[in-house]
Amino acid sequence: MSKYNGEQVLVIPRTAFEAVGAFNGLRRNLQDYLTAFFKPGVARYMDRATAEEDPHFKQMVAYAIFRHKEKFLAYARTPKGGEARLHNKLSMGVGGHINPVDGLTDSICTYLAGMEREIREEISFSGTATQQLYAIINDDTNEVGSVHLGIVHLFDLDNEQIAPNEGALAELRFYTLDELRGALYERLETWSAICVDALAADCK
């Protein structure tokens, strides 16, 4: 039995990504990509164990960032998390894969339902939040990134009352961009480092 226990995840062919415009890093015109990915017949569910080894497909991953005023949530990924290659890295992204329980493959509503489910599974927060679709991330320079594609959501919170719902998240706290761009930067997982750089550029 695979360590993923037969999990099915939403993927899109790499060719669909390339048709819109392949890149390494972050792009803000993510609506162009989402429109292309959710055309009928493009996205589909695949066995995760297979998808993790096949760079011909990209697993779609919801990556939610939480901001309160000028500070951003980050946490350490512990060995209890599912991706061993990211253990002990510092991450800004809360979320994960989209599964069949979330709905049909060719609906943006399926993706959004999966994003909301993943957030509820990982953290709890009080108060209110506003959300924006922020960017799309791709990083083919490492084996994790080569089979994943991140959809970044930016949530603005009215307080910092957030608690983890599972043991895979440790050291949960809010940091300024200066802190994340300083001594902590080398500890950030690749996607988080890309987001930090983009958010810092927004402030200029």
**Domains with residue ranges and CATH for the chain:** 8-202 (3.90.79.10)
**How would DSSP label each residue in 11-26?**
EEEHHHHHHHH--SEE
Q: For the chain, which ranges sit under pLDDT 50? A: 81, 86
Is residue 10 a contact partner of residue 60, using CB atoms and an 8 Å limit? yes
- Tell me which long-range contacts 35-43 makes (C-beta under 8 A, separation of at least 24): 37/12, 38/106, 38/107, 38/108, 38/111, 39/106, 40/106, 41/106, 42/12, 42/13, 42/16, 42/106, 43/10, 43/11, 43/12, 43/105, 43/106
pLDDT at res. 81 = 47
pLDDT at res. 157 = 97
pLDDT at res. 126 = 86
d(CA 37, CA 92) in angstroms, rounded, equals 25
pLDDT at res. 87 = 56
pLDDT at res. 85 = 53
pLDDT digits (tens, 9 = 90+) for 164-179: 987 778 889 999 999 9
Is residue 83 a contact partner of residue 59, using CB atoms and an 8 Å limit? no
